[in-house]
């Protein structure tokens, strides 16, 4: 669970099922987090959430992911998600790039 301050100055939690990691987007008020929901039908996802409004901007689903790592471009214009997944019995990696401007 992530805690933030709402528009009235009160600390309130943002419930996230299966939260793995989160980062603030450089130069913008956007929280990006990865999650692996405990529901067996739900797929791992990357969520972009605007703060302080808490509006969900985008949810990107990653199929068959076992681990996701986030890396920002030094100027904050791009976000790379390194997605580790299994293909049959072999570990494979893919990179998803997101433009954040």
pLDDT (tens digit, 9 = 90+) per residue, 7-34?
Answer: 677 777 888 889 999 999 888 889 999 9
CA–CA gap between residue 70 and residue 81 (Å, rounded): 5
pLDDT, tens digit only, all 101 positions of the chain: 566 666 677 777 888 889 999 999 888 889 999 999 888 788 899 999 998 888 999 999 988 888 999 999 888 889 999 999 888 889 999 999 998 87
Cis omega (within 30 of 0) on the bond before 52?
Answer: yes
The secondary structure of residue 77, as a DSSP letter, is S
Range of the domain at 13: 2-99
Domain count, the chain: 1
* pTM of the complete model: 0.82
């Amino acid at each position: 669970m992530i805690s933030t301050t709402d528009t009235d100055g009160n600390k309130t939690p943002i419930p996230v099922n299966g939260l793995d990691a989160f980062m603030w987007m450089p130069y913008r008020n956007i929280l990006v987090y990865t999650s692996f929901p405990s529901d067996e039908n739900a797929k791992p996802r990357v969520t972009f959430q605007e703060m302080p409004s808490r509006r969900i901007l985008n949810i990107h689903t990653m199929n068959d992911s076992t681990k996701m790592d986030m890396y920002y471009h030094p100027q904050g214009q791009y976000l790379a998600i390194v997605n580790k997944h299994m293909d049959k019995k072999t570990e494979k990696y893919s990179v998803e790039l997101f433009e954040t401007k």
